[in-house]
Structure 1
Amino acid sequence: MVPKNNIHGCPAPQNITLVQRLQPLIGRTVTVFQPGFPRLTKTVGKLSNVTKSSFTVGTTVVAMQTSFYIVLNERVKRTLPFEVSATAEDIGELRGTLIRVGRDFVEFIQTPGRRVPTLFPLNMFTEVNCEGEEE
């Protein structure tokens, strides 16, 4: 289970896990970013083999309990009125507009950027803060 202390100010999570979110995307092209030296490693490929412990993008196997995020190739229809800042060890901070909080991930649109979802795991390497947008 996810440590609850690494997510702050966000709406209650929906009862969906990152594995459940990724399963319908199998066979689609996604982009996964992982820490690499000297910069982020970017892998674009078809998503496959989604399990509780890992998933595969192209030929790259990504362990769920590592520092990474996934950018999907589909446009988002609606977002929640929360600004998100998500920080991952060795990746840095991403900012955006919240789409949803799952049991072990946050989904948001990075700003600035295209209107496509970023899936950000909630694990020991990550921390997420949400702030309601001021009316």
Structure 2
Amino acid sequence: MSNINIRGCPAPQNITFVQRLQPLVGRTVTVFQPGFPKLTRTTGKLSNVTPNSFTVGSTVVVFQTSFFIVTNERVRKTKDCDLTATAEDIGELNGRLIRVGRNFVEFVQNPGRRVPTLFPLNLFTEVVCECEEE
């Protein structure tokens, strides 16, 4: 994963996508994947998180594909960084950065509810941050 395309974001925290998903096992999440003519949306309980995939309801999602997850947790705090996340066959998402992990970013989508979006960093994705100077 050395060719992850991420620019202008703060240094990553030492947490992986799998580690971030573990506390959500058993909770209801929504995963969005490419579909025709629009995004496929699957809502269900998160289960079976492995190093390569996870399951939402009866749908198995492989990490090295194009997708993003929306949780139902309310966010209290974001960083002073606007973010644009782009995924192949999904398009562009805009939001406010919560954190950068080792192989994912977490942010609140604009416009949208104040809940986290988990976005993998892989071959199919690109992330650009624009942070305010402190």
Q: Same fold, TM exceeding 0.5? A: yes
- Match in the other structure for 1:9: 8
Q: Name the CA shift for 1:53/1:26 in 2 (closer, same or farther; >3 Å).
A: same
- Match in the other structure for 1:126: 125
- Match in the other structure for 2:88: 89
- Looking at structure 2, the residues matched to 3 and 102 of structure 1 have their Cα atoms a distance apart, in angstroms, of 15
Following superposition, the deviation at residue 2 of structure 1 comes to 4.2
1:46-89 alpha-carbon deviations (Å, 9 max, x no partner):
00000111000000000000000000001001111000000000
| Superposed structure 1 runs of 4+ greater than 6 Å apart | none
Following superposition, the deviation at residue 133 of structure 1 comes to 3.3
Check the 8 A contact 1:2/1:122 in 2, yes or no. Answer: no
1:75-111 alpha-carbon deviations (Å, 9 max, x no partner):
0011110000000000000000000000000000000
Number of matched pairs: 134
Name the SS for the 2:26 alignment partner.
coil
Question: What does 1:2-81 correspond to in 2, within 5 Å?
Answer: 2-4=2-4, 6-81=5-80
| Letter of the 1:122 counterpart | L
- Looking at structure 2, the residues matched to 134 and 10 of structure 1 have their Cα atoms a distance apart, in angstroms, of 12
Unaligned runs of 5+ in 2: none
Q: CA RMSD in A?
A: 1.1
Length-normalised TM-score, structure 2: 0.97
- Looking at structure 1, the residues matched to 2 and 49 of structure 2 have their Cα atoms a distance apart, in angstroms, of 18
Check the 8 A contact 1:2/1:123 in 2, yes or no. Answer: no
Following superposition, the deviation at residue 37 of structure 1 comes to 1.0
Name the SS for the 1:23 alignment partner.
helix
- Match in the other structure for 1:109: 108
Identity within the alignment, %: 76
Length-normalised TM-score, structure 1: 0.96
| Letter of the 1:109 counterpart | V
- Looking at structure 2, the residues matched to 58 and 116 of structure 1 have their Cα atoms a distance apart, in angstroms, of 20
Unaligned runs of 5+ in 1: none
